[in-house]
Amino acid sequence: MYTVKEAAQVTGLTEHAVRFYTDKGLVPSVQRNENNIRLFDEESINWLHGIKCLKQSGMPIGVIKMYIDLCLEGDSTIPQRYTLMMEHKEAALAKLEEAKLHVAHLEEKTVLYQAILEHQTQDTTNPVNWDRIQHMQRTSHAFWHPARIRSTRWPRRVVCLQHRCDGQRRLRSAA
């Protein structure tokens, strides 16, 4: 039998996580001694390893609890467990696509910042400058005219920013 500290060492979890998982009812085989101290057998350690894997996949505690409850019901729940895993996989893929969009946005921003650092464009990233830049755009269309932009040494991909309907700002190509 393992104590919380020993179970944490064996599984690579923190003691806090081991206590949290047992308090949430995720370790069905955990036992307690006469002093109400948690004791973990090999099956409990296996549950903790499984919980750790599911948690590392991004699965929420509530879904892990559903999975464990299904496991306890036996092999007849394999189709439900499969469905649960497929749903979690789809959710993870959706998060991945969202993360890819975040990375693409950050790529645009780093290209813009590189141009700012190389003095190829104004700092349009700082809201403090936006009123001044908008004033320049309104009063000096020649400055922002595509013919002038093409004649400068600015990278064609990082010409200026335009407002989108949703209030975000995106890079606009001069080409």
pLDDT, position 137: 67
Residue 137 DSSP symbol: H
Which runs of consecutive H residues, i.e. helices, occur in the chain? 4-11, 15-23, 42-56, 61-73, 78-117, 127-139, 141-144, 146-151
CA-closest candidate to residue 7, choices 54, 49, 51: 49
What pLDDT score was predicted for residue 140? 62
pLDDT of res. 119: 84
| DSSP-derived 3-state class of residue 30 | coil
**Domain boundaries in the chain?**
4-73, 100-172
CATH code: domain 4-73 is: 1.10.1660.10
pLDDT in tens, the chain (175 residues): 999 999 999 999 999 999 999 999 999 989 999 999 999 999 999 999 999 999 999 999 999 999 999 999 999 999 999 999 999 999 999 999 999 999 999 999 899 889 888 888 877 777 787 777 776 666 665 555 555 544 444 444 444 444 333 444 444 444 4
Taking CA atoms, 136 is separated from 75, 141, 143, 173, in Å, by 70, 8, 8, 19
| Amino acid 23: pLDDT | 93
